[in-house]
Structure 1
């Protein structure tokens, strides 16, 4: 039976789609995102086959910003607490970007409950380049420099071919839209990258796993994504030719990779 967990804060805002009555699937969103912004484009497809539950981290979606630094354990526990509240005893976990780190922590803290992992555009360790980007991201967010932060993130998150295909006016529209969508907790989310190295945890995971690498990603380098796949025992690697935003570029292909893998994963 599900075991309730003790968390430091009030429950996070929750997204629930259980109309299919299918097996449980937990969603862990990326830094500076939310369940809606990261998974909204594929939520109907996921919910057609699974009972889907996700939570918004502090400072995004419907969850208030935290006064304390965020911790992976807390995010993982809040996600499992939401599963408990919705009656999901076992579940697969889909993690995107920093949410992949949350998904890995769920798998290591609750190994008897996780049936499969799908990790997209994520990493086992941040590496020097990503840490430097995260430092700048956090600093700009703390100072309220939303436009400068958007000008940093747009060329890193977009597929270069897509970005270069835009007119200058369209690029400015994207920058403005990005600046306006940065949530209050974005800096707190990316601070999770400091010291992030989950390679030792990966060795303890024993569930079917799929790593979906975004091959045109300039935010999370492809080498780090492949390193994650190599470090996760028995993981399957699939490559998606997008930048860091598969939900914006190729949502149907992303959803098909996720649902196809979960449909084939052995029932535990």
Structure 2
């Protein structure tokens, strides 16, 4: 499988889409598309192993670089989480996608939650990996401390990805920090009609267990799963994570039929 990369303009802002799918499914409106949205400062590279594992398992996948991240030109202004969520759905839908399964990591969890709220007919389910920002830790200082602790656990490869991505996205990172800190995921999730799966790494100091469990509990249809690993647990456990997505989809299908 080869990845198709293209840049899409939405309201004058650029998003880069990286599509990896089984043969003949680069455009597919009949089966769900799994959309992967990165966290603040990072890029589609934080889903490199995950995307391939999902595609090998038979899923059409699209990983996204948000405006100002991953080498994509920035808008030169702050963008609220709601705006980013709307743009993600519109960008992916414009390139030939029907039903969407949205997967977000870190700040990406906020983006996909708002995307699901704004586009309930397009989004069938939501997966949140290492959700932020935990109540009681909504400050840049506390998040910085937690991030430093996480670096000890991530390993050389993931730290290299995160570090280089942060360097090239710093202007937009600084603009988006405030919207991320202010967003209240616990207020958005109860408004979603879609099933929500919350996934946490067992060694994640950013998305702590009590916070992740709380989010799963406030969702109308919420579930919580913990996998071994740090904040980017999807890259530490790509095959296991792909299996979770498969199981999550099967359960939804059975419930819809029953």
TM-score normalised to structure 1 length: 0.77
1:108 lines up with 2:111 in the alignment: no
Counterpart in the other structure of 1:10: 13
SS of 1:12's partner is: strand
Residue 264 of structure 1, aligned match among 234, 251, 257: 251
Deviation at 1:75, TM superposition (A): 1.1
CA–CA distance in structure 1, aligned partners of residues 129 and 19 of structure 2: 21
Once the two structures are superposed, the pairs formed by residues 1-40 of structure 1 within 5 Å of their partners are 7-19=10-22, 21=25, 22-35=31-44, 37-40=45-48
Structure 2 equivalent of residue 46 of structure 1: 54
1-structure distance, mates of 2:43, 2:50: 13
Partner of 2:126: 117
Structure 2 matches for 1:77-96, cutoff 5 A?
77-96=86-105
Measured on the aligned residues, the alpha-carbon RMSD in Å equals 2.8
Q: Contact (CA 8 Å) 1:7, 1:74: kept in 2 or not?
A: no
**Once the 2 structures are TM-superposed, how far is the Cα of residue 154 of structure 1 from its aligned partner?**
4.0
TM-score by length of 2: 0.79
1:227 matches 2:221: no
Pairing 1:207-222 to 2, within 5 Å after superposition: 207-222=194-209
| Structure 1: gaps spanning 5 or more residues | 1-5, 138-151, 164-169
Deviation per CA, 1:114-143: give whole Å up to 9, x if none.
1111111104x5423242347759xxxxxx
For residues 207 and 51 of structure 1, the distance between their equivalents in structure 2, rounded to whole angstroms, comes to 20
Cα distance, 1:158 vs structure 2 = 4.2
How far apart, CA to CA, are the structure 2 residues paired with 1:191 and 1:217? Answer: 22
Deviations 1:195-248 (CA, angstroms, capped at 9, x unpaired): 211333212212222111222111222222111111111211111121112144
- Number of residue pairs aligned between Structure 1 and Structure 2: 237
Q: 1:206 matched to which residue of 2?
A: 193
For 1:265 and 1:192, locate their aligned partners in 2 and report how far apart those are by CA, in whole Å.
32
- CA separation in 1, counterparts of 2:149 and 2:191? 36
2:140 paired residue number: 132
Alpha-carbon displacement from aligned partner over 1:81-103 (angstroms, at most 9, x marks no partner): 22222221321111111111111
Structure 1 runs of 4+ off > 6 angstroms?
173-177
Deviations 1:175-199 (A, max 9, x none): 7775444232333343332321133
Residues 140 and 181, structure 2, Cα contact 8 Å, conserved in 1: no
Match of 2:3 in 1: none
